[in-house]
Amino acid sequence: MRLAVLTSGGDSPGMNAALRTVVAAGRQRGHEVIGVRRGYQGLLEGDVGPLDLADVEGITRLGGTLLGSSRSTEFPTPAGQEKARSRLREHDVSALVVIGGNGSLAGAHLLATDPALRVVGLPASIDNDVGHCGLAIGVDTAVNTIVEACDRISDTARAHRRVFVVEVMGRSCGYLAMRAGVAAEADAILFGEQKLGEDEIVERLRGVLRRCFAAGGYKKRALIVKSEGVAVKTSQLVERLSQHLAEDAPGVDVRETVLGHVVRGGSPSATDRVVAQRLGFAAVVAAEQGASDVMLGWDVPGGFGEKTGDPQVRKIALTEVLAETARLLDGTSPVLARRMAMLAQVEDLLAI
């Protein structure tokens, strides 16, 4: 095979580990491997070159993506996709591995209409919003980064008896806030899928703060982890809370920290490296076996999809992946219902 690989959309820690494995496994199994720089935009511009082992040596530990990434505005158009297909033909590509999040996988599905091309997707997004994938590449590192940041913030918060509202990434999916919030001993966790209005959020948080700082209590800080997907701005929330602090938590003040892109960078955790490597290997094997229009998923909820040689990895049609992704994002997925139910069970324990 002449195997091309690209990384696309928001980068995530572990993309490089997946890339290195695709190159190593591809070459070791007798295939030529070429890299497409800057995602779909680079493909449109023909920014393509050979990749050998020396190019990817030592990159497993690196965050970001060696190939670069982009959010192309041209590729989503029919003309853009036609141009992408002709670029792939020009470079004689027989199989394409796309490493990226849900937008990138939607792009992979569109390219897979070419019968001469095998397209295999690997889920990589810190948001964990890819359907039929328990853990996307990058999520574990992002959760750990948030927890570490919250621990640091908690140190200074305790020194001053403060409330901190920490905003974390996760555009339409609150997974990072939910998971990291529990791990960081948050007193409250807010995410968009709760669909709470501003007043309701403020009332809930006031209740939490009253419990945390009740007279005779032991608490020295309150931590509120808020997903960026919550419709209310963090600054607005902090402003509203501060208006009631004298009454709810006398002597306590409130600060905000928006972690932003800090959460997306950094060296991948061991878990992300292993997940990325095993998915990368499975992608090469799947393409070799003639699979196309599929994604390889890690720890797939409900064991959906087809078995692969790796017990943790399932092969799922991209149409199914995209349909489940849509359900995750519109709130109708049973996976989301399960995540929220689990959090609801521990909610009362958060602010004790």
Catalytic machinery residues:
127
Cβ neighbours of residue 75 closer than 8 Å, sequence gap 6 or more: 40, 41, 43, 44, 81, 84, 107
Q: What is the secondary structure of 115-157 as a DSSP string?
A: TT-EEEEEEB-TT---TT-SS-BTHHHHHHHHHHHHHHHHHHH
**Could you give the string, one character per residue 194-233, with x where binding to ligand F6P holds by CB under 6 A and - elsewhere?**
----------------------------------x-----
* Residue 176: CB minimum distance to ligand F6P, A: 8
The three-class DSSP label of residue 34 is: strand
* Residue 38: CB minimum distance to ligand F6P, A: 14
**Could you give the string, one character per residue 262-281, with x where binding to ligand F6P holds by CB under 6 A and - elsewhere?**
--x-----------------
| Distance, CA of 23 to CA of 15 (rounded, Å) | 12
Q: Tell me the residue type at 49.
A: G
* Residue 99: CB minimum distance to ligand F6P, A: 13
| Distance, CA of 138 to CA of 11 (rounded, Å) | 8
| Residue from 26, 100, 101, 134 in contact with ligand F6P (CB under 6 A) | 101
The three-class DSSP label of residue 320 is: helix
Beta-bridge partners for 313: 298
Kindly indicate which of the ranges 16-24, 110-118, 120-128, 269-277 contains the residues binding ligand F6P, using the contact rule CB under 6 A: 120-128
Kindly indicate which of the ranges 21-29, 61-69, 165-173, 327-335 contains the residues binding ligand F6P, using the contact rule CB under 6 A: 165-173
Q: Where in 28-57 is the site for ligand F6P (CB under 6 A)?
A: none
Cβ neighbours of residue 220 closer than 8 Å, sequence gap 6 or more: 157, 158, 161
Does 10 bind ligand F6P (CB under 6 A)? Our answer is yes
Does 127 bind ligand F6P (CB under 6 A)? Our answer is yes
Kindly indicate which of the ranges 35-43, 166-174, 193-201, 340-348 contains the residues binding ligand F6P, using the contact rule CB under 6 A: 166-174
Does 126 bind ligand F6P (CB under 6 A)? Our answer is yes
Q: Where in 57-86 is the site for ligand F6P (CB under 6 A)?
A: 71
Give the distance from CA 91 to its chain's centroid.
Answer: 31
CA torsion angle for 112, 113, 118, 124 (degrees, to 10)? 0
Does 123 bind ligand F6P (CB under 6 A)? Our answer is no
